[in-house]
Structure 1
Amino acid sequence: MNLDAASPPAQTAPDLQALGPDAQAVFEQRLARLTQALDILPDKPEETPASALRALWLLAVGRPMSLHAAAETPLVALSAAQLETLDRLIERRVAGEPIAYLTGWQRFMGLELRASPEALIPRAESELLGQIAAQKLRSMAEATATPPIVIDVCCGSGNLALALAHAVPQAQVHGADISQTAIDLARANTQNLDLGQRVSLHTGDLLAPFGAEFQGKVDLVVSLPPYISTAKMDTMPHEIVGHEPHLAFDGGPFGVRILMRLIREAPPLLRPGGWLGMEVGLGQGPAMMQLLEKHPAYDRVETVCDAQGAVRALLARAAGSTVD
């Protein structure tokens, strides 16, 4: 299990104690407000009322950071003006504004990434695919002197592309997204992490940016694609549909439009023995697995399940490998 995906500690008592009883009282009063009013979605397991309060407290003093980073950072005393700022931030969070958009930061696979409404907020559940993809990529890198080539489709803020580049220093990673503003955010994250020498970013529809020079040479195509059906978009929580880009969620009438395109369009790019890895929505795994198993371009299919046993990602190997 990736410890980075676990919930950060609720609070660090020593730093509150060091600030004195007045600061402790302020913290407890605001914690009570958040505990009573905050509706935390299940796809944000890293957030609790206490972890949110720590992040907002530090944001109020001009130190924006992710929930995880805030859990590791001592709190400081607030001025009267900063306390007013904190209260305004709390009300914005209670009204449904995502904590990652308030702070501007989100952690993914141990990396601190900029977050903004231009792209989907990276989810802890997506680390399931990230971890397995990193394992396969390491094996590829160890098996050959040639740097493995990775394409991350629907890259959004660049979280998966950057995590793989960070995890496997030999890899050459390409991220692509149809949204130019998402690519701009991914580029900022690439620069912040100093990965520009090994991560290239492209604007375009799925695999369209990758021409003849990539044909049959790609070791890994990965994607965290939109997989919510269009009909379900209106029933999603306001915190999601009211703030995050719809393009990052809408997977067409049945939610599998992008998944099916990836299954069809990835094979010409993959080398023999290369892999396609895709995150899937709850309940989509069996049908997508069946499509992959029937497709002649793939000779092996693997599933990645969450803690509840639900299939959350699929990996398919391109046929033609000489290695079992």
Structure 2
Amino acid sequence: MKDISQADQENNIPLSTARNYERKIMAGDVQVGGKDLAIMAGPCTVESKTQIFEAAKAVSEAGAKMIRGGVYKPLTFPYGDPLGQPDADSGLPANERMRVVPRSEQDQAAEKRLGYMKEAAEKYGLAVISEIMYADTMDMMSQYVDMFQVGYRHMFNMDLVEALATSDKPILLKRHYGESLRSLLGVCEHFDARGKHDYAICERGVTVPHTHNVNSRAILDIQAIPAMAEYAPSVPVIIDPSHATFKRSYVAAMSRAAIAAGAHGLLIEVHPDPENAWIDPLQALGFSDFEKLMREIEAIHKIING
């Protein structure tokens, strides 16, 4: 069954779909799901200190409240992971790093890059969000991040669910592109049943027979926004237009549509040099395009909310 039934709401997901439930999701000083849009912007991957400082400055000046950046990457293939290698300030191009990176090196590189991101965030008044892949890194990452992102590949990772249910940091839970909203709410219920209520969900597209874009694997499910408002109105909805479209020229249009449909914010890729980003260079926005988009979505949000 893929649709959400009345029996589901009464027996399977009563906590997540409770209409009168009050949640307050605070990432540092930033409220996710409040009256203001929660815009989480930055590069897919923290490549260097220089890069993340440039990105933090640009997104802050444009009006974003959170800096996003990956330090662990669940890549489709095991080769070419740049994150266990010297960072971009060393001058070594990522495409020359074709080897499997041992976990110990991943952890060392991740903590170094988290340090860059936290330092940049503090300088420019931003909260930090980054993806967690391994439950045993939660304590280390908690020193640097204000919100954990659970990537779509880990939607049903019960090690992460159990660990994060004990964290004092809020969670952004991504829906897998092959899973129904019912399944996503099932994961939400796992958190709620364990007493973890400060989470938001992230829509990043669903699988369809075609995507209009040969490089993409998903179509953005705008309909999920009003559906969540119907079934789980207390859970904020964040939209990831970057991974949903995998195409830079589509990102702004989908962002505008998401805000018009009632999304509480965006998780969006912004890079100082988008075409040369280490990972996902096809979808990141440059600084000027992001600044323009921020003005557009702020205007839409004002119209929708009065």
Larger radius of gyration: 1
> What TM-score do the two structures reach when normalised by structure 1?
0.33
> What TM-score do the two structures reach when normalised by structure 2?
0.34
Structure with larger RCO (C-alpha < 8 A, sep 6+) = 2
Larger strand fraction of residues: 1
